[in-house]
Amino acid sequence: MISGNRPGRRLPRRLIAAGLAVMLSAGAVPARAAEPWGLEDLFARFAAIGSSNARFVEMREVSLLNAPMESSGTLTYRRPDFLEKRTLQPQSESLRLEGDRLTLTQADGASRTLSVSSMPEIQTYVESIRATLRGDVPAIMRFYEVALDGTVQEWRMQLTPRAAEARATVQRIVIAGREATIRRIEILHADGDRSIMTIQPDPA
């Protein structure tokens, strides 16, 4: 994501932004006439996506800095459990999630790999992402309080973590889009920092 996060908070924030962004940047599924609209319908649309690629621009507002930080790059998703966020500007780095492995590779080529299941706070985010990709509404409701409004053509979903450990990092996540395509993700951190990501699906 963006370099310069405070020590001890780097991986959770990267995973939240990366995982949600890739999960929700899937290509659009054509709308069907006169069908019901709700959380189940939205999740079914995401579950119908086998793979997707997108571009992102992210702005981070950090209380210790006088100006927002900007980064940009690409997002990749492949069923059933591959997610990657590759930052190209201001410097190259990547965050890859595959199965239980979370790998962060920095600009100098140094990398480290962690087990997601060994970190309950991060596992909460990962399992919620996978539940969404499976179209599993009961599972997502176990991890988050979900509020969805709007229509299939213009919707807004707010996620509030249920677990105290997750709320210690993130206060809420607000996602806006149309059909199974996300256009904007806003994350408000518990310490007041905020990130806003705009996403453009890759036509290729």
From residue 64, alpha-carbon distances to 24, 124, 172, 188, 191 in Å are 29, 28, 21, 15, 11
Which CATH number characterizes residue 164's domain? Answer: 2.50.20.10
* H/E run at residue 139: helix 137-143
From first to last of its 204 residues, what are the pLDDT tens digits of the chain? 333 444 444 555 555 555 555 544 444 444 444 456 899 999 888 888 888 899 999 999 988 888 889 999 998 888 878 889 899 999 999 989 898 899 999 989 899 999 988 876 677 667 766 776 677 888 889 888 999 999 988 999 898 988 888 888 888 888 888 888 888 889 898 889 999 999 988 765
Is residue 159 one of the residues assigned to a domain?
yes
Domain span at residue 112 reads 10-201
- DSSP, collapsed to helix, strand or coil, labels residue 179 as coil
Q: Is residue 106 one of the residues assigned to a domain?
A: yes
pLDDT at position 145 is: 93
Residues 6+ apart with CB under 8 A from 48: 29, 180
Number of compact structural domains in the chain: 1
Task: For residue 145, give the H/E element and its range.
Answer: strand 144-151
Instruction: Please tell me the predicted confidence (pLDDT) of residue 28.
Output: 45
Query: Is 91 domain-assigned?
Result: yes
Task: Kindly state whether residue 134 falls inside one of the protein's structural domains.
Answer: yes
Does the residue 59 lie in any domain? Answer: yes
Residue 128 lies inside a defined structural domain of this protein: yes
Residue 145 within a domain: yes
Domain assignment present for 179: yes
pTM (2 d.p.) = 0.77
pLDDT in the model for residue 29:
46
Contacts of 108 (CB under 8 A, 6+ apart): none
